[in-house]
């Protein structure tokens, strides 16, 4: 009974959500695209002719936006779930945390990466503290990988949740990048604990 109530509530919220409606109207795979769009508009992240890695890419709306906005770029996306093909994008189905897949990414970008974006998050358990910790660990893993792969003026962008790992992520960002900002896009739901960290220029 409780599951049915939650499911019904989710359906109602989706129908009322202007970003869900807009994403369908504009042909994007999820409302999440507007978070990246707002981040890009504020921080000028995406340009043409970049090497770009999209981590945790399913269902693919961020990859769609990257492909449209960054002309002439070399783009790879990776996710545990299969992502429907997007033009001029190399899709990998697999676990980003797997060393084999990280080696594949390194081999695909021999000349380093300009931009790493991560919208990775664990499947929610209902325990907000646990979800925050696990998603924070994903963000830290993506950041450490990005530090080794980015060009000196490269950019790392990642979803983070408020919680016990928040300060550790911020400290790592300050230690390894000259610029780091936290931003919650307008399209991010008010009741969500998510924000995004934008890191620029390696130290």
Residues serving a catalytic function are: 159
- 75: enclosing H helix or E strand: strand 74-79
For residue 104, give the nearest of 157, 55, 48 by alpha carbon. Answer: 55
3-state secondary structure of 49: coil
For residue 115, give the nearest of 29, 198, 28, 30 by alpha carbon. Answer: 198
For residue 119, give the nearest of 57, 69, 40 by alpha carbon. Answer: 57
DSSP state of 197: E
- 157: enclosing H helix or E strand: strand 150-161
- The CA distance from 126 to 196, in Å, is 21
- The CA distance from 22 to 70, in Å, is 21
């Amino acid at each position: 009974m409780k599951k049915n109530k939650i499911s019904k509530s989710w359906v109602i919220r989706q129908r009322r959500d202007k970003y869900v409606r807009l994403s369908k109207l504009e042909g994007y795979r999820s409302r999440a695209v507007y978070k990246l769009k707002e981040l890009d508009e504020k921080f000028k992240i995406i340009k043409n002719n970049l090497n770009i890695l999209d981590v945790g890419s399913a269902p693919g709306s961020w990859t769609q936006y990257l492909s449209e906005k960054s002309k002439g770029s070399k783009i790879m996306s990776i996710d545990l779930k299969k992502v429907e093909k997007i033009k001029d994008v190399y899709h990998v189905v697999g676990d980003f945390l797997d060393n084999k897949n990280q080696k594949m990414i390194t081999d695909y970008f021999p000349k380093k990466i300009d931009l790493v974006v991560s919208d990775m998050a664990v499947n929610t358990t209902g325990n907000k503290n646990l979800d925050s910790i696990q998603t924070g660990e994903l963000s830290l893993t993506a950041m450490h990988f990005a530090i080794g792969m980015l060009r000196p003026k490269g950019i790392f962008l990642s979803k983070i949740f408020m919680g016990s790992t928040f300060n550790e992520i911020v400290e790592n960002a300050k230690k390894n990048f000259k610029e780091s900002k936290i931003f919650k896009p307008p399209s991010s739901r008010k009741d969500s604990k998510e924000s995004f960290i934008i890191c620029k220029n390696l130290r």
